[in-house]
Amino acid sequence: MTPAELSRTVLRAMRNAVDAGELSGDVTASVEAGNVRVERPRPGGRGDFATNVALQIARAAGRTPREVAEVLSPRLAAAPGIAGVDITGPGFLNITLTDARAHATALVREIRERGRCYGHVHPDTGGLAQIHVPRELRAAVIADSARRILRSQGVLVRVTCDEEPDPAWAAALDALDVRIDAYGRPPEPLPTLRPVPAPAPADAVLRLGRDAARWALLHPAPHDHPRVTPEQGGDEHLVQRENNPLFRVQYAYARNRALTRNAAALGFTAQPERDPAAEDTPGHPDDPAPALLTPLGDYPATLASAGRHRAPDRLARQLVVIADAFLALQSAPQGAVLPRGDEKPSAAHRARLALAEAAGTVLAGGLSLLGISAPEFV
Domain-terminating residue out of 208, 226, 253 = 208
CA distances (Å), origin 17, targets 61, 79, 219, 254: 11, 13, 42, 48
Whether residues 256 and 361 share a domain: the answer is yes
Q: What is the pLDDT of residue 287?
A: 58
Residue 234 lies in a domain: no
For 199, 235, 294, 352, the CA distances from 232, given in Å and listed in that order, are: 9, 8, 34, 40
Classify residue 336: in a domain, yes or no.
yes
Q: Is the pLDDT of residue 375 over 70?
A: yes
Residue 34, CA distances (Å) to 43, 57, 59, 195, 341 in order: 25, 15, 20, 27, 47
Q: What is the CATH number of the domain that holds 75?
A: 3.30.1360.70
Instruction: Tell me if 288 sits within 8 A of 335, measured CB to CB.
Output: yes
* pLDDT at residue 280, rounded to an integer: 43
H or E segment to which residue 88 belongs: strand 82-88
> What value does the mean pLDDT take over residues 84-112?
86
CA distance 122 to 308: 17
What residue numbers bound the domain in which 189 lies?
A: 127-208
pLDDT band at 221 (very low <50, low <70, confident <90, very high): very high
Q: Is the domain of 180 the same as that of 255?
A: no
Angle between the 210-218 and 312-331 helix axes, to the nearest 10 degrees?
110
Tens digits of per-residue pLDDT, 141-166?
999 999 999 999 999 999 999 888 88
- Is the model's pLDDT at 273 over the cut of 80? no
39-97 tens-digit pLDDT: 877 766 678 889 999 998 888 888 899 999 999 999 998 888 888 899 988 999 999 88
Whether 306 and 195 share a structural domain: no
Residue 169 maps to a domain:
yes
Least confident of 1-15, 229-243, 277-291: 277-291
**Residue 42 per-residue DSSP state:** P
Provide the CA 205 distance to its chain's centre, in angstroms: 27
Total number of domains constituting the chain = 3
How far is Cα 109 from Cα 320, in angstroms, rounded to an integer? 22
- Residue 232 confidence (pLDDT): 92
Last residue of a domain, one of 98, 113, 138: 98
378 domain-assigned = no
CATH number at residue 263: 1.10.730.10
Q: Are residues 31 and 132 in the same domain?
A: no
Supply the pLDDT for residue 275.
Answer: 40
Residues 68 and 10 in one domain: yes
Residues 298, 339, single domain; the answer is yes
Dist. CA 301–CA 36, nearest whole Å: 10
- Determine, yes or no, domain membership for 275: yes
Q: Are residues 62 and 174 in the same domain?
A: no
pLDDT(197) > 90 = yes
pLDDT for position 30: 61
Q: For residues 326-338, b (16+ Cβ closer than 10 Å) or e, as one string?
A: bbebbeeeebbbb
CA distance 110 to 103: 10
Mean pLDDT within 91-120: 87
Instruction: Indicate if 137 and 93 belong to the same structural domain.
Output: no
The reply to whether 250 and 347 lie within a common domain is yes
Cα–Cα distances in Å, from 228 out to 7, 202, 218, 224?
A: 40, 10, 11, 13
**What are residue 202's phi and psi, to 5 degrees?**
-60, -40
Confidence at residue 98, expressed as pLDDT on a 0 to 100 scale: 78
**251 and 365 part of one domain:** yes
Same domain flag for 180 and 72: no
Dump pLDDT digits (tens) for 283-292.
444 456 777 8
In this structure, is residue 239 part of a structural domain? no
Strands 127-133 and 82-88: unpaired
Mean pLDDT of 254-267: 94
Distance separating alpha carbons of residues 11 and 31, to the nearest angstrom: 8
| pLDDT at res. 252 | 96
Average pLDDT, the chain: 87
- Does residue 283 form part of some domain? yes
Instruction: State mean pLDDT over 216-222.
Output: 96
pLDDT reported for residue 43: 67
Query: At which of 208, 232, 259 does a domain end?
Result: 208
| Residue 219 near residue 231 (C-beta atoms within 8 A) | no
Q: Say which residues have a Cβ less than 8 Å from residue 172's Cβ, sequence separation at least 6.
A: 137, 202, 203, 205, 206
Residue 350 · residue 338 · CB < 8 Å: no
Model confidence at 32, pLDDT cuts 50, 70, 90, reads low
Say whether the peptide bond before residue 339 is cis (omega within 30 degrees of 0). Answer: no
Per-residue pLDDT tens for 331-370?
A: 877 667 888 888 888 888 898 899 999 999 999 999 999 9
Is residue 238 assigned to a domain?
no
Of 218, 220, 237, 224, which is closest to residue 138 (Cα–Cα)? 218
Residues 279 and 353 in one domain: yes
Global pTM reads 0.78
Position 108 pLDDT exceeds 80? yes
Question: Residue 370 gets which letter from DSSP?
Answer: T
